[in-house]
Amino acid sequence: MNKIISMKEAIQEFVRDGATLAIEGFTGLICFAAAHEIIRQGRRDLTLCRMTPDLIYDQMVAAGTARKLIFSYLGNPGVGSLYAIRRAVEQGIPAPLEIEEYTHFGMIGRYIAGAARLPFFPLRSNTGSDLPAHNPAIRTVQSPYADGEVISVVPPLNPDVAILHAPRCDASGNTQVWGLVGMQKEVAFAADKVIVVVEEVVDERIIRSDPNRTLIPGLIVDAIVVEPYGAHPSYVQGYYDRDNAFYLEWGELSKDIEATNRWLEEWVYGVPDRAAYLKKLGEETLARLRPGQAPSEPVNYGVYA
Amino acid sequence: MTDHAYTASEMMIAVAARHLAGAQTAFVGVGIPNIACNLAIRTTNPNLALIYESGVYGAQPARLPLSIGDPTLVSGAAAVMPMADLFMYYLQGGLVDVAMLGAAQIDRFGNLNSTIVGTDYAHPKVRLPGSGGACEIAINARRILNITRLSKRTFVEKVDFLTSPGFLSGRAEREALGMPGDGPQAVITDKAVLDFDPETGEMRLAGLYPGVTVDDVRAGVGWDLRVAPELATVEPPTPEELRIMREELDPTGLYRA
């Protein structure tokens, strides 16, 4: 079965109106290419899950795709606020946005419980905080062991669809990640459907030469999209740098609703796909983001015939 | 004094670095905390291992990271791991000696607010980023350093929203909840160092920067700030500390201004 399809096809087939969707990736490996295609296809009423909504969900909220946001850090990392999401939360523009808030460890625990099909995840957090008073899903249980400690728990999170960016996979979807791996593995196992978006598809032999690096097995991958630079303006370790200049630029332009809409018009609705976006972005920007070389030393797995 | 002139940020960085002496590991954020940790490695604590919540242990950043997920934290690090491992085994496992946190508001018992300004959660005056990892860091790290400029808007009697626990209503309440970490140790500001009463956990003035008066500090605090019995004067940055900051760690002055 050929799992490799276009981004257009992947979004058409797997992301429905009203779906619970997680496009994860911590600072790096954030699949903006998928978000832009979802905006172009006019999806509505999505429940968006991400630890750090980042610019990707700021853009999706600005475009009116979302009904609800499940998150743990609502900022433009290293820059400041996410103004489109703030407009939605504070003023209901372009539409009211329901929020469900956790701490980072709380979101991590939700994905772990989801992936392991457990009813909850216990963690030493939330105690003493005002957050549980505003999120009834954050509860406590008493340990049946030892001193009967009362501990905070969070419920499982099982998205309908996860879209996860990665450097490479093989044709079956065995996906390898290096650099920050974030929660990509846990989200993949927690989700009902998994779309992996990669910089390149490589021969199965390359994946099998270094099996320790495989984070997501093809077993749980429903579709593969090959989309070089699909994570820009976030980054892929060793392929391209984070476009910090754009994160700073968005921090300014997103303060203004008209400027935000103009940006969406030009860079999302105004291009048919990622290839056109990259052409518009230009070789100069891509060259600026290209890192130097730092290959790892190969290891010897041994032959045991 | 002109050859020893320094900015308030440079003083905060130097003071924070000195507070890292003796720690094996530090949980690091971007900006001033990052520079302070790297200054500590070059001065008081060459063996300090940097831990970033993005999943990095033993980072050796070759440039100033804009975010805590910068790829420069990965290249050359001792270990890169799923965030689940970092929060479960490093942080909750008790391996973080010191962590530095900032906040929009801090109260007299070191409780932090990074969630909302205003008291109506559903309709906040300002929606801030929220906890991120701060709540569990405040609970689990051995000790917490807060790095914040003095201002009555920031140093409030009671936080609008308690995101990350300090001593709650006092040391007794934190201890009763059995939190693994010891809680806030010091607040490093632009005018003074504040610490916490060993009995009650109430914040107090512990050390004045050169040329600063007790009243200068009180003017930036929204309650009647107590003064520690052994009020010290904090040494300014040494020429060597300033040289490292200016030439090696932040040559463009992004975080030193």
Going by pLDDT thresholds of 50, 70 and 90, the confidence category of residue B83 is very high
Q: How far, in Å, CA of A134 to CA of A151, rounded? A: 18
CA A153 remoteness from chain centre? 23
Among B57, B70, B111, B112, the residue to mutate for chain A (most A Cβ within 10 A): B70
Residues facing residue B105 across a β-bridge: B113
Taking CB atoms and an 8 Å cutoff, what residues of chain B touch A123? 92, 136
Going by pLDDT thresholds of 50, 70 and 90, the confidence category of residue B2 is very low
Q: Which residues contact A16 (CB under 8 A, 6 or more apart)?
A: A43, A160
Whether the predicted interface score ipTM is above 0.85? yes
In a domain, B72, yes or no: yes
Do B32 and B13 touch, CB atoms closer than 8 A? yes
- B5 vs A: CB within 8 A: no
Taking each helix axis from N to C end, the angle separating A83-91 and A257-264, rounded to the nearest 10 degrees, works out to: 120
Of B69, B124, B129, the CB nearest to A75: B129
- B239 vs A: CB within 8 A: no
**Nearest C-alpha neighbor of A86 from the set A74, A77, A78:** A74
- What DSSP designation does A268 have? I
Q: How far, in Å, CA of A241 to CA of A247, rounded? A: 12
In a domain, B227, yes or no: no
- CA of A183 vs chain B CAs: smallest distance (Å): 6
In a domain, B110, yes or no: no
Average model confidence (pLDDT) across chain A: 97
In angstroms, the Cα distances linking B247 to A9, A109, A263, B244, B253 are 52, 42, 38, 5, 10
Q: Say whether B168 and A237 touch across the interface (CB within 8 A).
A: no
| Structure confidence by residue, pLDDT tens digits, A260-284 | 999 999 999 999 999 999 999 999 9
In a domain, B257, yes or no: no
**CATH at B181:** 3.40.1080.10
Q: How many CB pairs under 8 A join A and B?
A: 163
Question: In chain B, which among 122-141 make CB contacts under 8 A with chain A?
Answer: 123-124, 126-136, 139-140
Q: How far, in Å, CA of B13 to CA of B153, rounded? A: 22
Tokens of B86: 């970092």
Question: In chain B, which among 208-237 make CB contacts under 8 A with chain A?
Answer: none
| Structure confidence by residue, pLDDT tens digits, B129-163 | 999 999 999 999 999 999 999 999 999 999 999 99
Average model confidence (pLDDT) across chain B: 94
- CA of B97 vs chain A CAs: smallest distance (Å): 17
Domain count, chain B: 1
Q: How far, in Å, CA of B175 to CA of B198, rounded? A: 13
Q: How far, in Å, CA of A160 to CA of A158, rounded? A: 7
Amino acid letter, residue B146: N
Which of B10, B53, B157, B202 is the catalytic position? B53
Q: Which residues contact B115 (CB under 8 A, 6 or more apart)?
A: A101, A130, A131, B121, B128, B130, B131, B161, B163
Which residue numbers in chain A have pLDDT < 50?
none
In a domain, B108, yes or no: no
| Structure confidence by residue, pLDDT tens digits, B102-130 | 999 999 999 999 999 999 998 888 899 99
In a domain, B226, yes or no: no
Q: Say whether A125 and B135 touch across the interface (CB within 8 A).
A: yes
- CA of A94 vs chain B CAs: smallest distance (Å): 16
Residue B10 known to be catalytic: no
Could you list the residue range(s) of the whole structural domain that residue B169 is in?
A: 8-101+134-149+165-218+233-249
In a domain, B127, yes or no: no
- B164 vs A: CB within 8 A: yes
In a domain, B45, yes or no: yes
Length of chain B: 257
